[in-house]
Homo-oligomer: A and B are copies of this chain.
Amino acid sequence: MTQVLDLVGIFVFALSGALVGVRRRLDVVGMAVLASMTALGGGILRDLILDARPVAFTSVGYVVVPLAATVIVFFWHPHVLRVMPVVNVFDAAGLGLFCAVGTEKAMNAGFSPLHAVLLGVITAVGGGVLRDVLSGQVPILLYDRQFYAVPALLGSALMAALHVADLRGWPATLAAAVLTFGLRIAAVRFRLQAPLARGVAAQE
C-alpha cells in the first residue's frame, strides 16, 4: 500500500518535472533528466545524508516510473496540462507521504526528532528545488509565498512526535501524510501567503 502510494508520488513529481521541460523547450533527454531529478532528488539527498544506498539505485520502479511519466508528457502534454488540478492534488499527497517517510527513516537511523524533521522536509521538497535549479530558475519554493514547505514541516513534526510517543508503522505515516495533505490543500484553497521580510513590497 505505502509502496503503491510511493510510486504514485514519484509519478506525479516526475510529471511536474517533465512539464517544466516542455515549457522550457528542452529536448527529450532534458525532459527525462528533469522528471527523474524532481521525482528522485529529494530521496537521493536524504539517503546520502543518512549514509545509505539511495533507494533510487535499488528499485526498478524508481527508474521506470519517471521515464513513463516522460513518455506520457512527451506525447500528450496538452492533456496533462488540462488535468493539472488533479495532478496538484496528487502532488500534495506525494508531499505528505515523502515527508512522513523521510522523517521515519531518519528517526530509525538514530537522528534526533529536530533533525529528523529537517530531513523529512528535505525529502519532500528537495526534488522540486533541484528541478528548478537545473532548469535555470530560482526555486519556486523560495519566493512564491505558497505554503509548500510549511505543511511538510508540520507533517514531519507530527511524524516525529508520534515516533517519540512510540506510535509507529502505517497509522503514523498515514496521520502525518494526511495532515500535510490537508494543510497544503487548505493553503491553496484559502490562498495563504508566506510573509516577506518587514518593509519589502511584493513583486508585481
Interface residues of A (CB under 8 A from B): 21-22, 24-31, 33-34, 44, 48-49, 51, 53-54, 57-58, 60, 63, 73-78, 111-112, 114-115, 118-119, 129, 133-139, 141-145, 148-150, 193-200, 202-203
Q: Which residue of B lies closest to A47 (CB)?
A: B49
User: Could you tell me if A138 and B24 are in contact, using CB atoms closer than 8 angstroms?
Assistant: yes
User: Could you tell me if A197 and B73 are in contact, using CB atoms closer than 8 angstroms?
Assistant: yes
Q: Which residues of B contact A48 (CB under 8 A)?
A: 48-49
Q: A48 → chain B, closest Cβ, in Å?
A: 6
User: Could you tell me if A115 and B27 are in contact, using CB atoms closer than 8 angstroms?
Assistant: no
User: Could you tell me if A60 and B112 are in contact, using CB atoms closer than 8 angstroms?
Assistant: yes
Q: Which one of A44, A57, A111 has the greatest number of beta carbons of chain B within 10 Å?
A: A57
User: Could you tell me if A198 and B77 are in contact, using CB atoms closer than 8 angstroms?
Assistant: yes
Q: Which residues of B contact A57 (CB under 8 A)?
A: 49, 111, 115, 118-119
User: Could you tell me if B25 and A203 are in contact, using CB atoms closer than 8 angstroms?
Assistant: yes
Copies of this subunit: 3
Q: A49-B48, A63-B114, A134-B129 are in contact. Are A197 and B22 (CB under 8 A)?
A: yes
User: Could you tell me if A25 and B196 are in contact, using CB atoms closer than 8 angstroms?
Assistant: yes
User: Could you tell me if A33 and B114 are in contact, using CB atoms closer than 8 angstroms?
Assistant: no
User: Could you tell me if B200 and A22 are in contact, using CB atoms closer than 8 angstroms?
Assistant: yes
Q: Which one of A29, A53, A141 has the greatest number of beta carbons of chain B within 10 Å?
A: A29
Rounded to whole angstroms, the CA-CA distance of A115 and B60 in the bound complex is: 8
User: Could you tell me if A196 and B142 are in contact, using CB atoms closer than 8 angstroms?
Assistant: no
User: Could you tell me if A31 and B138 are in contact, using CB atoms closer than 8 angstroms?
Assistant: no
Rounded to whole angstroms, the CA-CA distance of A3 and B78 in the bound complex is: 49
User: Could you tell me if A29 and B150 are in contact, using CB atoms closer than 8 angstroms?
Assistant: yes
Q: Which residues of B contact A142 (CB under 8 A)?
A: 21, 24, 26-27, 29-30, 33-34, 134-135
User: Could you tell me if B29 and A141 are in contact, using CB atoms closer than 8 angstroms?
Assistant: yes
Q: Which residues of B contact A119 (CB under 8 A)?
A: 57
Q: Which residues of B contact A111 (CB under 8 A)?
A: 57
